[in-house]
Every structure is written in structure tokens, then in C-alpha cells.
Amino acid sequence: MTTPVRTQRADATRNRELLLAAAEQEFAEKGLEASVADIARRAGVAKGTIFRHFATKEDLIAAIVGGHFANLTAVARELLEADEPGAALLELLTVTADNLQQKDLTFLQSVTAQDSQVIALRDELYEAISALVERARTAGAVRPDLTGTDVFVLMCTPVHAVGFLSDPAPDVWRRYLALIFDGFRPEGATPLPRPAPNWP
């Protein structure tokens, strides 16, 4: 019998989802300059509605970025249970690249660099990745000097590399992921010239 209350919220929640989806599309197509008006139009709501859900364009972006971090964290945590630590790590990178390939919103992070919510979510992802890396290291699947930070900062690389091509096949990133992952392996590893940076 609480339905009436929920019903209203259902509408709002739906709009929120519509807005987030529309915003992701617009940002993916037009970059940071995607206008709030266009996002609203694509979501099929009035310009004002967007500000009821996200007080600021920045807040909207934070919601998007945070959401993506959270999704990835969930994946990473699940993979902590996987049998083969090396394969698990590779799988995380594969999922990440796959997501990115379909909609690269990495550039949104520049806007949310100071947002504490986003930072918290990003740190959670970092923790999960670190655990995954440690397992792989212990199992001898990756070189002993590889850290979670290393993997975190190189995670988007395969897709970004593909971005320099004009009309790339949809999964060339797999080539670059493999290439980079080969650099993670113990075989043929040369000593690294600098220590791994600390996590922010």
C-alpha cells in the first residue's frame, strides 16, 4: 500500500535514468561541450528537469563517472573469486576496454577530479584492482614489480590507442590490450627505471 509514494518516485527514477543515458550519449558524441539543453532534449524532458535531478552540470557528470567506477568495482570484486588470478586480471581489463570502446567517457574525469564522492568510488575501484593484481602477482601471472596503480593508470590505454585511428575495426583494442598485457608478464621483463607511484 506504499505504492502511491513509490509510483511517483518511479517516474522520477525513470527520468533520472533517461537523463543519465542521454547525457552519456551526448557526452560520448560531442565531448564535454555537450549542452545541457541537448541532453534534456535527447532524454525527452524539459531543460529544468535536469537541474532537479542534478543541481549542476558537474553533478551530472559526477553521477556518470561515479556510476562507471561503481560498475567496474563490482566486476573487479566478482573476479576476485575467479580461479585463475592472471586470467581474472586480464578479464577485468577486457571488460573495461569493452565498456570504453562502446562509450568512452574518460575525459569526464577531468571535471570530477575534486569531487569527494567520485574520489571515494574511484578509490574503491583502486582497492579492488590492487587486490586483483596482488593475487596475480602471488600466482606468478604478472611481473613482481607490477602494482595496482600501474594497472589502474594503464587500464584505458588500449581503447585510447585505438582512438588515434580514423575508422578502426570495433575490436582492435584487443590487439593493444594483448600487447600491453604482454608487458605485464614476468617473461622478458626488464627492470623498471622508476618506482611505482603512490596512490593519490
Binding residues for a second copy, per CB under 8 A?
Answer: 31, 109-110, 113, 146, 149-150, 152-154, 156-157, 160-169, 171-172, 174-176, 178-190, 192-197, 200
Q: Please, what is the Cα angle at 142 between 176 and 104, to 5 degrees?
A: 35
Decide whether 102 or 110 has the Cβ nearer to a second copy. 110
Q: Which does 170 bind (CB under 5 to 8 A by kind): a second copy, DNA, none?
A: none
Q: Which is nearer to a second copy, 131 or 152 (CB)?
A: 152
Cell of 40: 534534456
44 backbone φψ class: left, alpha, beta (φ>0; ψ -120 to 50): left
Binding track over 31-70 against DNA, x by CB under 7 A: --xxxxxx------xxxxx-xxx-xxxx------------
Residue 150 binds which entry of a second copy, DNA, none, CB below 5-8 Å type-dependent: a second copy
Max CA separation in the chain (angstroms): 66
Where helices occur in 31-115 by DSSP H, the ranges are 36-43, 47-53, 57-79, 85-102
Residue 67, binding choice from DNA, a second copy, none, Cβ under 5 to 8 Å by partner class: none
Q: Which does 77 bind (CB under 5 to 8 A by kind): DNA, a second copy, none?
A: none
Cα 175 to the center of its chain, rounded Å: 20
* 3-class SS of residue 87: helix
Q: How far is the CB of 156 from DNA (least distance, A)?
A: 24
| Interatomic CA distance for residues 146 and 195, integer angstroms | 10
Residue ranges in contact with DNA by CB under 7 A: 4, 7-9, 11-12, 15, 33-38, 45-49, 51-53, 55-58
